[in-house]
C-alpha cells in the first residue's frame, strides 16, 4: 500500500486510474477480482511513461493533397466540398436591347394597323438603328439564315390593313401572317391564317425567287391556295354575362348553342375533307421584290415596293413571347 501512496504523487496516475480502473475503488482489497500489486504497478508504470497517441479523424475531400488550393477550400468549406459560385447573369448586348425595345413597341398595334404616329416614329427610329448595325450585310449570300418560317410582327404596308381590319368587323380574325422561305428549292410561301368561332382556314401564295443583289430577291408568284377549314375547340358559353349593370343568365341558351355547334361541326367536317382550292396567278401582281436590310438568326427587317417596312420574327424565337 505504501507503494501505491507514493505513486499518488505522479500527476498522470490519478487520471489513468480514474479512466481505466474506476470500478476498482468499489472492490474490497480481498476481492478475487482485485489486481495484484505487481500487476497494478506494471500497468501504472507503463501508462505513466508511455505517451498516448493522439486521435485523428480522417475525412474525405474532393481535391488532391498536392492541390495548392486545398487548404483555402478547406478553410472556406470544412466539409471538403468545393462550392462553385454561379456566374452573374450576362448583360444583354446593345443589339439585344434594341431588338427587345423594337418588339416591345409593337404591343397593341395589331401588326401596325393601330399604331399611332408617335409609335410609328419610334419604330422607324429603332429600325434605322438596327439597320446601321446589320450583322449580315449580304443576306442573299446567307440563305441558311433566310431559310425557315418567319412570322410578321409589324408592317407599314397599307395593302394589308384592310385585311387586318376585317377582324374588327366580322367574327373572324387574322391569327397569323407568315412567310416561309425554302433555300433549297428557292421558293417562298406567303400565308394568312384566319380563325373563326369553330374553325381556321388559310389563304396562301406560292412563288419562286431569284437572287438579284446581295440584299435583293426577285419574287415571281405562281399560284394561290385557299385552304379548307380545320376544326378548332368547341364554344364555351359562360354561366352568365353582365350587361348594363345586370347579370343575364345564359343557361337557357346552352341547349341552343350545343345544337348549333353540332350542326356546324358536321358541316365543317364535310368541308375539311375536301382538297384545298388552287388558282394560278398571272397578272400585274405576279412579280415583286424584297430588300432585306437587317438579318440575324431570329429577326428580319425587309423593305418592299414603295418603301414598305416588314418586320418578321423567326418561328420559335423568344421575341415572339409578349
pLDDT band at 304 (very low <50, low <70, confident <90, very high): confident
User: What is the phi/psi pair of residue 284, to 5°?
Assistant: -65, -15
Please list, in sequence order, all residues whose beta carbon lies within 8 angstroms of the beta carbon of residue 139, skipping any fewer than 6 positions away.
145, 146, 214, 215, 292, 295
Instruction: Using the predicted structure, report yes or no on whether residue 24 has a pLDDT greater than 50.
Output: no
Share of the chain above pLDDT 90, in %: 39
Among left, alpha and beta (phi > 0; psi -120 to 50; other), residue 4 is: alpha
**Per-residue pLDDT tens for 185-241?**
999 999 999 887 667 888 999 999 999 999 999 999 999 998 877 766 555 555 665
pLDDT band at 256 (very low <50, low <70, confident <90, very high): low
Q: What is the per-residue pLDDT for 181? A: 96
Of the listed ranges 64-73, 188-197, 241-250, the least confidently predicted one is 64-73
Helices (H) and strands (E) in the chain — how many of each?
9, 12
End-to-end C-alpha distance for the chain, whole angstroms: 96
Taking all residues of the chain, what is their mean pLDDT, rounded to a whole number?
Answer: 74
Query: Is pLDDT larger for residue 17 or for residue 181?
Result: 181
Query: Is pLDDT larger for residue 116 or for residue 166?
Result: 116
Q: What is the per-residue pLDDT for 245? A: 55
Please list, in sequence order, all residues whose beta carbon lies within 8 angstroms of the beta carbon of residue 63, skipping any fewer than 6 positions away.
69, 70, 73, 80, 82
Instruction: Using the predicted structure, report yes or no on whether residue 280 has a pLDDT greater than 50.
Output: yes
Domains and CATH numbers, the chain: 95-195+211-221+285-320 (2.40.128)
Amino acid at each position: 500500500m505504501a507503494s501505491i501512496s507514493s505513486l499518488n504523487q505522479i500527476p498522470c496516475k490519478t487520471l489513468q486510474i480514474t479512466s481505466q480502473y474506476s470500478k476498482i475503488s468499489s472492490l474490497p482489497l480481498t476481492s478475487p477480482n482485485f489486481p495484484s500489486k505487481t500487476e497494478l504497478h506494471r500497468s501504472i508504470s507503463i501508462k505513466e511513461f508511455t505517451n498516448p497517441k493522439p486521435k485523428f479523424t480522417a475525412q474525405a475531400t474532393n481535391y488532391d493533397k498536392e492541390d495548392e488550393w486545398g487548404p483555402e477550400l478547406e478553410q472556406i468549406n470544412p466539409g471538403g466540398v468545393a462550392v462553385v459560385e454561379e456566374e452573374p447573369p450576362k448583360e444583354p448586348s446593345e443589339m439585344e436591347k434594341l431588338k427587345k425595345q423594337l418588339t416591345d413597341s409593337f404591343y397593341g398595334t395589331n401588326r401596325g394597323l393601330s399604331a399611332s404616329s408617335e409609335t410609328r416614329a419610334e419604330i422607324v427610329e429603332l429600325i434605322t438603328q438596327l439597320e446601321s448595325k446589320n450583322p449580315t450585310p449580304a443576306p442573299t449570300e446567307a440563305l441558311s439564315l433566310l431559310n425557315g418560317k418567319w412570322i410578321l410582327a409589324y408592317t407599314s404596308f397599307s395593302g394589308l390593313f384592310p385585311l387586318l381590319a376585317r377582324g374588327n368587323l366580322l367574327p373572324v380574325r387574322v391569327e397569323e401572317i407568315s412567310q416561309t422561305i425554302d433555300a433549297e428549292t428557292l421558293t417562298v410561301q406567303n400565308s394568312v391564317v384566319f380563325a373563326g368561332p369553330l374553325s381556321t382556314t388559310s389563304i396562301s401564295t406560292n412563288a419562286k425567287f431569284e437572287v438579284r443583289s446581295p440584299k435583293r430577291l426577285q419574287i415571281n408568284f405562281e399560284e394561290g391556295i385557299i385552304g379548307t377549314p380545320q376544326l378548332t375547340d368547341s364554344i364555351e358559353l359562360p354561366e352568365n354575362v353582365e350587361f348594363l349593370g345586370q347579370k343575364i343568365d345564359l343557361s337557357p341558351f346552352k341547349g341552343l348553342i350545343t345544337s348549333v355547334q353540332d350542326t356546324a361541326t358536321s358541316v365543317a367536317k364535310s368541308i375539311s375533307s375536301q382538297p384545298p382550292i388552287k388558282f394560278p396567278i398571272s397578272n400585274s401582281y405576279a412579280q415583286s421584290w424584297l430588300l432585306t436590310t437587317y438579318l440575324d438568326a431570329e429577326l428580319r427587317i425587309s423593305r418592299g415596293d414603295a418603301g414598305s417596312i416588314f418586320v418578321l420574327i423567326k418561328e420559335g424565337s423568344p421575341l415572339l413571347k409578349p
